[in-house]
Chains A and B, each alone.
Chain A
Amino acid sequence: MDRKGNQKINTKVTIAGVTFKNPVMTASGTFGSGMEYSDFVDLNRLGAVVTKGVANVPWPGNPTPRVAEVYGGMLNAIGLQNPGIDVFLERDIPFLTQFDTKVIVNVCGKSVEDYLEVVERLGDAPVDMLEINVSCPNVKEGAIAFGQRTESLYDITSRIKAKARQPVIMKLSPNVTDITELAKAAEAAGADAISLINTLTGMKIDVHRRTFVLANKTGGLSGPAIKPVAVRMVYQASHAVKIPVIGMGGIANAGDAIEFLLAGASAVAVGAMNFVNPYTTTEIVEGIEDYMENYGIEDIAELIGGVRE
């Protein structure tokens, strides 16, 4: 049922046995744990909140400047600053469980053991799914190092799957030669789903000062500028594997979200555009309902992978 009481419309999607009221999620790192955006967005209306990455211990992140704007997007090199799993379990999880939305916790680490510790600590927590960050380009150890080679991705995925009590989503990097190889490695290792794309590694130079704009020199490019790359990779990945794909990369409105669904995504996440328009997520929830009504689509499943070849 949609917000206007239309009984015919089904926007629910199920991924690895978890049913979401709609396919609209937040992309990790762009929404905190929801608190900062609860002034703007009724979190009950979202399919899921995907949290900022959390590690076994607090991480200070990178020096500033950490962000820079570029045409149609932005670069960030936050460096996965997070308060660590202890604070996260005490503060962020109880906040999120007040809402009628699914909770997906993004997990980061410097070593496989770091990841496993967080996954174990989350085992008894009221968390619906885990998203494993093996694709952040802004930290020197861990993260992307696990996600750019099929062997290491297979290894970390299978070790996490052996410990995890919740279904596992592997978040993939676009900074690879062939996304389908990585998608297949995650699937073969037992991942329940994959999400893509994380940011594309970029750089910006200040021509007046002749310096790098970001203290980290490089940063992850996100925003509408990367959307065509993301749609292409979601299309390729979803045709390479049978597990569900969660699509993200520059989604700004319902049309963008539907484009990802048509390309093969079972759900979508809004990232950088939260910073531009804090109401983006709920506007997309409504826009998808309107689109389905306009085109007489009763079940959102009809849209998933529905692009006409």
Chain B
Amino acid sequence: MSKKRKVWASVLSQRMLAPEIYDMWLASDLAAVAKAGQFIGVYPMDQAHLLPRPISICEIDAERSALRIVYRIAGAGTAEFASWQPGQKAALLGVLGNGFPLQEARHKKVVLMGGGIGIPPMLELARELAEYAADVTIIVGYQNDQLFLKEDLEKYGRVLVATEDGSAGTRGNVLTAMKAEEVEAEVIMACGPMPMLRAIKAFAGERGIPAYISLEERMACGVGACLGCVCKTTRKDAHSHVNNARICTEGPVFEAGEVDI
């Protein structure tokens, strides 16, 4: 693993993709070492808000030395990020977390599932999986017909859509769409809200399909020191000895059977 660093980056572009959902490219040499499923800490410039916001990496352009994040306004910090214009300096902490185990998808039928603001990391994952000769199906769940990132995802695999209000694709969630379209999976990789991840864990467990899920929790340090972002694990992990893995360090991606969610 590469050394973690706090670095200055600059905003290359910023646009709104859907209400409250923003898309920002940042110039940063962290791109050289980042991989799918990892995240960065983004610092607000307003010093009343001190902690880095953990945001998943949506796309990595190593040639351009740039990272893309697609994030939702969830509070004062992310609201400030959405106001940043090209040229704005931004402090980043990275690269954080373990990332998805791409080798597990080699030559397999892999189903990627993203729900809501869990969709962005699926883009870089789908892009990197192209090198693993995997048969990639991407199932994305939205609230409504604001289908952000759908066209980007279509470059890397078959995309199925589920919407809660039925305004596009299958009415329901990602699993409803998977069943409706009779999608076969030999391995599942997912990111999204906790109820979705719980359902995927149960679904994959019943069928004996390996599933890798990316978890989220409130974080402070992002580097494994504060023990703020732990999740319950089924086996004693080497660090805590009390079944409490750190999402920022042992995660955010866990094999679904390893975590008690």
User: How many Å lie between the Cα of A82 and that of B132 in the bound state?
Assistant: 40
Selected contact of A276 from candidates B3, B51, B231, B249, CB within 8 Å:
B51
A67-B218, A276-B50 given; A60·B3 CB < 8 A: no
Selected contact of B230 from candidates A30, A69, A81, A223, CB within 8 Å:
A81
Which A residues touch B50, using CB under 8 A? 69, 72-74, 223-224, 272-273, 275-276
- Is the pair A36, B240 in contact by a Cβ cutoff of 8 Å? no
Quick one: which of B210-261 are within 8 Å of A by CB?
217-231, 239-244, 249
Task: Give min CB distance, A40 to chain B, whole Å.
Answer: 7
User: How many Å lie between the Cα of A36 and that of B1 in the bound state?
Assistant: 13
Which B residues touch A20, using CB under 8 A? none
Q: Which chain A residue lies CB-closest to B249?
A: A36
**Total contacting residues, chain A, CB less than 8 A:** 39
Which A residues touch B4, using CB under 8 A? 39-40, 278
Quick one: which of A211-245 are within 8 Å of B by CB?
223-224
B64 within 8 A of A: no
A37-B223, A71-B48 given; A279·B6 CB < 8 A: yes
User: How many Å lie between the Cα of A36 and that of B250 in the bound state?
Assistant: 12
User: How many Å lie between the Cα of A58 and that of B241 in the bound state?
Assistant: 7
Q: Give per-residue flags for B1-18: 1 if the beta carbon is below 8 A from chain A beta carbons, else 0.
A: 001111000000000000
Q: Which chain B residue lies CB-closest to A34?
A: B225
A305 within 8 A of B: no
B49 within 8 A of A: yes
Could you say which of B225, B240, B249 has the most chain A C-beta atoms within 10 Å of its C-beta? B225
A31 within 8 A of B: yes
- Is the pair B48, A274 in contact by a Cβ cutoff of 8 Å? no
User: How many Å lie between the Cα of A297 and that of B109 in the bound state?
Assistant: 69
Task: Give min CB distance, A117 to chain B, whole Å.
Answer: 17
Quick one: which of A47-61 are within 8 Å of B by CB?
52, 58-61
Q: Which chain A residue lies CB-closest to B50?
A: A276
Task: Give min CB distance, A28 to chain B, whole Å.
Answer: 11
User: How many Å lie between the Cα of A87 and that of B222 in the bound state?
Assistant: 23
Query: Interface residues of B toward A: which range?
Result: 35 or more
- Is the pair A32, B224 in contact by a Cβ cutoff of 8 Å? yes
User: How many Å lie between the Cα of A30 and that of B50 in the bound state?
Assistant: 15
Which A residues touch B240, using CB under 8 A? 58, 81, 83
User: How many Å lie between the Cα of A37 and that of B224 in the bound state?
Assistant: 9
Task: Give min CB distance, A46 to chain B, whole Å.
Answer: 14
State the main secondary structure of chain B at its contact with A: loop
Which B residues touch A73, using CB under 8 A? 50
Quick one: which of A258-305 are within 8 Å of B by CB?
272-279
Q: Give per-residue flags for B64-95: 1 if the beta carbon is below 8 A from chain A beta carbons, else 0.
A: 00000000000001000000000000000100
User: How many Å lie between the Cα of A73 and that of B48 in the bound state?
Assistant: 8
Which B residues touch A29, using CB under 8 A? 226
Which A residues touch B225, using CB under 8 A? 30-32, 36-37, 274-275
A111 within 8 A of B: no
Which B residues touch A97, using CB under 8 A? none
Quick one: which of A171-222 are within 8 Å of B by CB?
none
Could you say which of A31, A59, A64, A73 has the most chain B C-beta atoms within 10 Å of its C-beta? A64
User: How many Å lie between the Cα of A272 and that of B242 in the bound state?
Assistant: 24
A9 within 8 A of B: no
- Is the pair B6, A83 in contact by a Cβ cutoff of 8 Å? no
User: How many Å lie between the Cα of A78 and that of B47 in the bound state?
Assistant: 24
User: How many Å lie between the Cα of A67 and that of B246 in the bound state?
Assistant: 13
A60-B242, A64-B218, A67-B219 given; A78·B228 CB < 8 A: yes
Q: Which chain B residue lies CB-closest to A31?
A: B225
Which A residues touch B220, using CB under 8 A? 67, 74, 76, 272, 275
CB-defined A-B contacts under 8 Å, sample of 12: A37-B223, A39-B223, A60-B244, A66-B230, A74-B220, A78-B226, A81-B227, A81-B242, A83-B239, A83-B241, A276-B43, A279-B6
- Which 4 A-B residue pairs are closest in the complex by CB-CB distance? A67-B228, A83-B241, A36-B225, A275-B221
Given A39-B3, A274-B221, 8 other A-B residues pairs in contact with their CB atoms under 8 A: A31-B225, A60-B244, A61-B242, A64-B229, A69-B51, A276-B52, A278-B4, A278-B93
